[in-house]
Each structure stands twice: as C-alpha cells, then as structure tokens.
Structure 1
Amino acid sequence: MMRPVLLLSLCAKSCSRILVQFWAEGGGNPRQGRRLFSGSPSPSSASHWSKVVSEAEKIVGYPTSFMSLRCLLSDELSNIAMQVRKLVGTKHPLLNTARRFVSDSRNNLQMRGLVVLLVSKAAGPNLSTESSIQNDIVSGIYSSQRALAEITELIHTAFLVHRGIVNIGELTSSDGALKDMQFGNKMAVLSGDFLLANACTSLAQLQNTKVVEIMSSAIGELVQGVYYENSSLTKVNILTDDIRISAWKEQVFLSHCVLLAKSCQAAMELAKHTAGIQNMAFKYGKHVSMSHKLNVDIQPFINGNSNDSLAFSLNSAPVVFHQELVGREIWIKQIKEAQGKGDLIDYSKLQDAIKAGKGVTSAIDLCRCHGNSALEALECFPPSEARSALENIVYAVTRFS
C-alpha cells in the first residue's frame, strides 16, 4: 500500500489547482483590525528565503507545501467548503485563509512541519531502540515523526482558521451582510474544530502517551496565548496600556512559539532520544519561532511608511520596546500628537516617532539574540545537511537587509 505522505505528494498539484479555483471566487481582504498574525521575511530577502525552504525540503525527502492537504480533501471538509461558497462576495477572513493555504507565495504556512522533519533528521535515529523501529525509517526520519509533522500543521491550520473569526460588533456595511458574516463565523468554528479533531485523532494513533501529553499541553497553552492576545487587542485603552517586553515575550511564546517548540520535543521522544536532546530540540523550536515573530514585527518599520493602521501592530515588539524605553508619559504625548484634533490616529506619524527612538534597534537585537540561542541549541546535533538547513532558517529570519 502506498504511504499516505507519498500519495499526498503525488495528488497535491492537481488537487491544489481545484481548490485554488474554488477559493479564488472570493474577493476582498479580511478585516483584521490592528493585528498581524502571520508574516514572512522581508520582500528583499524573499528569494533567499525560498532557496532556504527549497533546499530544506530536498533534505527531508519531499515537498511539505501541501502537508495537510489529505485532511482538506476529506468528504467532511468538502461539505463545509460547499457551504462556505455562500461567503463569496463578502470580506470574511475564512475565504482568504483558505486561499493562502493552497497558494501561499511566501512559503510560510507549512514551515512548522518542515522544521519538525529537519530536527528529526538532524538528531538521527536512536540506535539503542529495538530493530522493529529501525526498519521504519525513510530518509533518516521515522514514519511517526512524519505523522507528527502533519499533526503539527493541522493544529496550526486549525488555529489560523479560528483566528479568522470576526468581531461582529466592529463590522461595517462594506464588510458584507451581517447574516453572511455570522454564517462565516460558524463555518470558521466548524472547519477549525474539524481540523483540530483530526489532529487529535492522528495524535492518538501514534500510541505514545508521552507525546500525547506534550502535544496536548501545547494545544492548551496555544489556546491560552490566543485568548490573551485577543483580549489585549480588544481593550479600548490599548494605546495607553503600560506594556512591558517581559510580558510580551511570555504572551508571544504561548501564542506563536509553544506549538513548534513542543512539536520538536515530541519528535525526539518518538525516537526515544534522551531528555537532554529533547530539551535542546525544544529550545531550538522556541527561539527560532521567537526570531520569526520578531522579524515579522520589525518589517513595517524598515520597509517604508504607511497611513494604514494595518501597517504595524500596536502589540508588536518595536512598539512595546518604544513604550518601555521612552516612558509612559512621553508615549501618551506622542499618541495625542498623532491623533491631532480628531479621534483618528495618524499611524504614519506614530510610526515615525517609534522609528526615531531605539525600539526598532532593540527589537532587532532581541531577534538576533534568540537566533543565537537557536544556533546554540543545534550544537548538540552532529554536523549534517539537516543541521545546516536548520541553521540557514535561523540566518534567514534574523536577516534585515
């Protein structure tokens, strides 16, 4: 019988074309308020980033761009997709999320699974385990570790879909009919729950209680992080909140880093590696995720100005650093100057004030600091192509030129 992952690779090209055609019928951009949940390295380094991803995929044995496609092609989710056609013509984020999933030009959506596979190959097989497990290796990676990479992507995709639920109270007439947006929210909840349920079922099939424990805790902490993130974004006084970088790092770890960190740890547990190796894999996943998030936050401040509030997040690292460095009184004064006589914020003026300070350079320093920590964690692995690929990913997300 053909391996599911090989079958997935063979059908990905033709199936993705069908899905792209379906989701491409939607139009408009999602209403995201003031937040940025995803991103990629700067446009100037896009070709470099694509090269890093392409080389890494060759090392693990197959393209990971459609790692979760098998679940997306199930009958259950196909029925949901038919219902979601009703959202065509609205600006509900569910349409945009689905389109990006199958036609992502930034090579960003499936990176977690790729990193899990690279860490698995970099650590190598555990020669002290029984021979039956040793026979279950393809390209230096156990089949259970490949399954875990798919599970990681399913969990991430489920949360991407759930994060696209819109706040009905903030909608305007240009976003679409109220009943359509409410329907979109129901579909986002349903499809996200379906993906998460499939991930949990696949997790149980690994038949490793320790791995189930690790990944279950990751899901729980991810839920907690997203809740805190959404709570802070809905505060009326968000502009004048006294936010500290230490609190920011704790929240970002939960909402953006914990899934990859614990997935890397779980991959080591599947190969029966020591607690020390598991800890190093966890650290790499944590620090490379933090560097990536910082890179995303920094880009709007080094790639020009914009009058659009979507240009940068008010919870991004440069803003938080800026508030902490200049002090609360000066920050509130700068906000008032950016507001002028009306209630609307001139974000370009606020952005200029932040760029004039040390918030951006402090965020860059922190990004590189986490990058160095990720590289240090890799020192426990022997030199190999997989380790070099993991190092190149770190270099890519800490690059700002």
Structure 2
Amino acid sequence: MVVAEVPKLASTTEYFFKMGVEGKRFRPTILLLMATALNVPMDVDSLSRDLRTRQQCIAEITEMYHVASLLHDDVLDDADTRRAIGSLNFVMGNKQAVLAGDFLLSRACVALASLNNTEVVSLMATTLEQLVTGETMQITTSSDECCRMEYYMQKTYYKTGSLISNSCQSTALLAGHTAQVSMLAFDYGKNLGLAFQLIDDVLDFTGTSATLGKGSLSDIPHGIITAPILHAMEEFPQLHTLVDRGFDDPVNVEIALDYLGKSRGIQRTRELARKHASLASVAIDFLPESDDEKVQRSRRALVELTHRVITRTK
C-alpha cells in the first residue's frame, strides 16, 4: 500500500515500515483485535472475508496516518532519532521527510475512499483534522493554557486518542453495528489512547534513550508541559513562574525537575493513566454477549492491552 513509483520516494516512505524499525504496531494490533471482538456471524464466507479485508484496511490506514504524523513531528521538533535509528529528517533532510509523510497520507486517503462508506470516511478525515489541531495547540499554546490540565487532556486526545478512537469506531461501523456498540468501541480507543500518552509522558522523565528508542527528556526543554509537571504544579505553585520564564535556560529545566522529584507528579500521572485504562476495559465489558471463542479471546486480549499500556517501560 505504500509502494511508490519514484525510487527515492519509495525508500523514504518505507523507512519506518522495514523489519527492525517498524515499531510496536500498537494501533493495527488494537484494530484487528477489535474487528474480531465485534465479529458479526455471516452465512456466506465470502462476505465475512470481505468485511475482514475492509477492517484490515482501516488498520493499515491508521498505521499510515501514525507514521506520517511521526515524520512530520520529527521535522517540527528537529528530532535526530526515532525508533533507535536516525530520524528520516536527520538522515535525508526535512524536504524528503515532509514529502514522505504527505505521500503516506495521500495513499491512506485513496485506501479510505475505496471503502465506499461515507460515515467512515468522515470519521477518519476528522481524525486528520484533530491530529493537526492537536499539534497546533502544542506549538501555539500560551503560558496560561499550557498550565491547564483540561487544555493538556484535550490536546492529548487530539494528538493520540482521536486516531485510535475513531479507527475503533470505524471498525465497528463497517461491521454494521449499532450506534451504542460503535460508541463503546470509540470509548475503548479514546481511553486507551489517553492512558498510552500519559505513560509516554511519565517515561519522558523516567526512561532512557536506550529503552525508548528516542531522546528522553524531550518535552520540557522544548517548553512542552505534560501531566507530571502539571500535577507537580498543584503542589508547588512556584513552577508557574518557571513556565512563564520558559526553559531555554537549562538551569530552569533542572529546577523544574527538582520540584517534580519532590512532588507526586509522576505517581498521580500513573494513577490517571490507570483510570483511563480501567474505563477502556469497562467499554469491552459492556459489548454485547457472545459465545464465540474467538470473540471472547480477542476481548480478553483487548483488556490485557489496557494493563500492558500502563506497565510498559518503552
């Protein structure tokens, strides 16, 4: 699906799809499990295969969206590593990285149109809008906005949760499920995505470059205030002054980290992640009952994923 006619474009587009640097494939795994968890018995095998193919297409589109956003983010952040190798912009330059991201999005749009489902097309198009909105919120935030937890959670949903939630809902819609079941799929994706990002924010402070495959402590030096610092700010209002002052000076970063170490910021962020993981698990519990062993196994796996998200170390 990411094959390109021009060799240079092909090599850049496939950069993060090659074996060894393909990432965790977290999102496609969720969507394929969700497809089985929402399995609709069909009398004709060919219809069942066609539905599975269409749902798999959503998983592929989602991964292309995700990788395209990584390529663009690395350009915006001037990153030099990604998935334990040189970022595409670092290796081949910003122009090639941007064009590779654009190409992935265009291929995803072609695949999306082939599904011939207006509601799904609208949902996935909205996801792109929200991804851009979230990134814009991050780079244009005022000092007042970046100190508000509500603003952070909204931005986090747009940047991380919307892709998983809308893709899960699209998977349910393709199977012809009711609005209620589709919303349960949406709720699972939304809360799992939020839990994932909250733990990501914790790992930015507690992880290392070796385990994360990218530079640790990458947010606060760029002035990006995440949940651990926001929670610490409630205990130490002095952090507001540091945020207003900015973090261009490494001394300010060190002072902020000192306050974070004295606070329950990391612990409270983990607790918030556990809350959202629990809400994701509840959404699976409320899906219509099924005696199908494959359905039950997939639902157990989706619940297991909520535990893995909050206990991961990379």
* TM-score between the two structures when normalised by the length of structure 2: 0.80
Q: For residue 80 of structure 1, report the CA deviation from its aligned partner.
A: 2.1
Secondary structure of 2:147 counterpart: coil
Rounded Cα–Cα distance in structure 1 between residues aligned with 2:193 and 2:134: 14
Instruction: Please tell me whether residue 220 in structure 1 is matched to residue 129 in structure 2.
Output: yes
Amino acid at match of 2:173: E
For 2:173, the equivalent position in structure 1 comes to 269
Change (3 A) 1:253 1:231: same
From 196, 199, 211, the counterpart of 1:295: 199
Rounded Cα–Cα distance in structure 2 between residues aligned with 1:262 and 1:192: 20
From 54, 57, 67, the counterpart of 1:157: 67
For 1:285, the equivalent position in structure 2 comes to 189
Do the aligned partners of 1:243 and 1:324 also contact (CA within 8 Å) in 2? no
Change (3 A) 1:167 1:357: closer
Instruction: Please tell me whether residue 199 in structure 1 is matched to residue 127 in structure 2.
Output: no
From 350, 360, 363, the counterpart of 2:266: 360
Give a deviation string over 1:223-247, Cα, whole Å, max 9, x none.
1111212324xx7xx6x87611111
Instruction: Please tell me whether residue 147 in structure 1 is matched to residue 57 in structure 2.
Output: yes
What CA RMSD, in Å, does the superposition of the two structures yield over aligned residues?
3.4
For 2:84, the equivalent position in structure 1 comes to none
For 2:239, the equivalent position in structure 1 comes to 331
Larger Rg: 1
* Residue range with higher mean Cα deviation, 148-157 or 367-376: 148-157
Amino acid at match of 2:5: D
For 2:47, the equivalent position in structure 1 comes to 136
Rounded Cα–Cα distance in structure 2 between residues aligned with 1:153 and 1:387: 21
Rounded Cα–Cα distance in structure 1 between residues aligned with 2:122 and 2:75: 28
Rounded Cα–Cα distance in structure 1 between residues aligned with 2:131 and 2:297: 31
For 1:123, the equivalent position in structure 2 comes to 38
Change (3 A) 1:104 1:363: farther
From 187, 192, 195, the counterpart of 2:96: 187
- The runs of 5 or more residues in structure 1 that have no matched partner are 1-69, 85-93, 172-179
Instruction: Please tell me whether residue 345 in structure 1 is matched to residue 251 in structure 2.
Output: yes
Do the aligned partners of 1:371 and 1:395 also contact (CA within 8 Å) in 2? yes
Q: For residue 301 of structure 1, report the CA deviation from its aligned partner.
A: 3.9
For 1:231, the equivalent position in structure 2 comes to 140
Q: For residue 265 of structure 1, report the CA deviation from its aligned partner.
A: 0.2
Do the aligned partners of 1:222 and 1:258 also contact (CA within 8 Å) in 2? yes
Give a deviation string over 1:155-188, Cα, whole Å, max 9, x none.
11111111122478x99xxxxxxxx98x822222
Rounded Cα–Cα distance in structure 2 between residues aligned with 1:151 and 1:333: 43
Secondary structure of 1:272 counterpart: coil
Instruction: Please tell me whether residue 390 in structure 1 is matched to residue 302 in structure 2.
Output: yes
Rounded Cα–Cα distance in structure 2 between residues aligned with 1:185 and 1:304: 26
Change (3 A) 1:338 1:265: closer
Q: For residue 323 of structure 1, report the CA deviation from its aligned partner.
A: 1.9
Do the aligned partners of 1:297 and 1:312 also contact (CA within 8 Å) in 2? no
Amino acid at match of 1:185: N
Give a deviation string over 1:65-107, Cα, whole Å, max 9, x none.
xxxxx41x3324x33256x6xxxxxxxxx9xxx6554255694
Change (3 A) 1:356 1:197: same
Rounded Cα–Cα distance in structure 1 between residues aligned with 2:73 and 2:244: 31
Rounded Cα–Cα distance in structure 1 between residues aligned with 2:279 and 2:303: 11
Q: For residue 206 of structure 1, report the CA deviation from its aligned partner.
A: 0.5
Give a deviation string over 1:251-303, Cα, whole Å, max 9, x none.
10001110110000000000000111100000000111111111111124445
Rounded Cα–Cα distance in structure 1 between residues aligned with 2:281 and 2:98: 38
Change (3 A) 1:363 1:337: same
The size of the alignment, in residue pairs, is 289
Change (3 A) 1:114 1:185: same
Do the aligned partners of 1:318 and 1:363 also contact (CA within 8 Å) in 2? yes
Give a deviation string over 1:88-138, Cα, whole Å, max 9, x none.
xxxxxx9xxx65542556942x211111111110111155xxx56x52335
Rounded Cα–Cα distance in structure 2 between residues aligned with 1:268 and 1:200: 19
Amino acid at match of 1:75: E
Rounded Cα–Cα distance in structure 2 between residues aligned with 1:304 and 1:266: 36
Rounded Cα–Cα distance in structure 1 between residues aligned with 2:207 and 2:131: 30
Q: For residue 153 of structure 1, report the CA deviation from its aligned partner.
A: 0.9
Amino acid at match of 1:283: D
Do the aligned partners of 1:244 and 1:321 also contact (CA within 8 Å) in 2? no
Percentage identity across aligned positions?
25
Do the aligned partners of 2:35 and 2:55 also contact (CA within 8 Å) in 1? yes
* Residue range with higher mean Cα deviation, 351-360 or 371-380: 351-360
For 1:80, the equivalent position in structure 2 comes to 9
Q: For residue 209 of structure 1, report the CA deviation from its aligned partner.
A: 0.9
Rounded Cα–Cα distance in structure 1 between residues aligned with 2:219 and 2:26: 22
